[in-house]
Chains A and B, each alone.
Chain A
Amino acid sequence: MKDIYRGALVRLSSQSSEDMAKAFLKWDRDTEMHRLADTDPAQLWSEKKLKELFEKDQEKDPPRAYRFSVRTLPDDKLIGATGLVPNWMHADAWVYIVVGDREYWGQGCGTDAMRLIVQYGFIELNLRRITLGLHSYNARALKTYEKVGFKMEGRIRGEGLRDGERYDGFYMGILREEWLATASSEEAK
């Protein structure tokens, strides 16, 4: 069995609530990053509160979500977070990813991390499909997700409102059989 946490540019690792709090304390101030990643209003939490929020989630077994930190190879820099929130009855899950550090945008790190979390969802959680949502103005993310194999499934018109303008919510999905087909063709290369 291969190392399922290791990609080409990044690896998935555990979330240390301390490290995540420090990182998001910095990244939250980059409101372009926040507005690409989140639907919630941009907010500035204290480091103490961030640590609490990260810890609160970790306690449950079974966990409500499977969360990872994203770190670069080989220098192990914490650049983001990713995770899956399963809906077990349907063997489906919401996937999210955020590369908080803009220095690492547009270099393939997001794509690599997304490939890893999708792989985890299919071979460790045995999901049938994975779903995600993104804002219509997030062109980079759309390209990334398409590269990983997600297909556009729906659009909620005017789902969001920012700066007086409405934007759509895009919803994409990847099916297990589609992923297996691309995974095996990748291995054959």
Chain B
Amino acid sequence: MKEIFKGESIRLSAADHVELGKAYSKWNADSELTRLMDSRASRMSSSKAIATNLEKELEEASALQHFFTIRALQDDRLLGDIGLHVINNWSSRDAFMGLGIGHREDWGKGYGTDAIRVMLRFAFTEINLRRVTLTVFEYNPRAIRSYKKAGFCHEGRYRGALLRDGKRWDVLFMGILREDWMKLYQ
């Protein structure tokens, strides 16, 4: 059986809250990143605070959470993170996926698309989900394109759910069913 965590340019790896605390603290200085990823007000926290919170979150939700770091295959550099959060206490076998690539120099290089592909394979063949769901902001066309390429379908939008710079933006919902994924990749 092949290595399930390995992609073409990236691999998924374990999350270490201390390493991520340091990384997030740096990445969060880029407000374009935070505004693409987070609906909450952009803010800056110390790496210690982030690490502590992350450790607690990972421990508390461990039954429902599958969270990994994304590392470059070439030089093992930490690129970002990706996770699945299983909803409805597993009974619907659906999970929300979220990911982020931290440095803008690493955007547009296919790392995200590769990570999504590896994560979907994990979701459908290792933890046997029936579907994967995600939300993405209307003003994030690069991500929307990535998700469409990976096989996600548009399922609707929460109108005006984000208020930024005095304008209202929609939050888009996308989903991929196991049968959609199998048609694409098998």
Contacts and interface: CB of A to CB of B under 8 A. Distances in A.
> A–B direct touch, CB within 8 Å, in complex?
yes
Interface of A: 61-64, 86, 88-91, 124-126
Contact of B128 (A62, A86, A90, A124): A90
A89 B127 contact: yes
Interface stretch (B45-53, B74-82, B85-93, B160-168): B85-93
Contacts of B91: 124-126
A124 B89 CA distance: 11
B44 interface: no
Interface of A is mostly: loop
A89 B64 contact: no
Nearest to B89: A62
Nearest to B86: A88
A63 B90 CA distance: 11
Contacts of A90: 128
Closest 10 A-B residue pairs measured CB to CB?
A62-B89, A88-B90, A89-B127, A126-B91, A125-B91, A62-B63, A89-B128, A62-B64, A91-B128, A62-B90
Contacts of A125: 90-91
A144 to B, nearest CB: 27
Nearest to A89: B127
B122 to A, nearest CB: 11
A91 B89 CA distance: 12
Interface in B88-138: 89-93, 126-128
A120 B123 CA distance: 25
Nearest to B61: A62
A64 B89 CA distance: 10
A17 to B, nearest CB: 21
Most buried by B among A63, A64, A88, A124: A88
Nearest to A88: B90
A86 B90 CA distance: 10
Contacts of A91: 93, 128
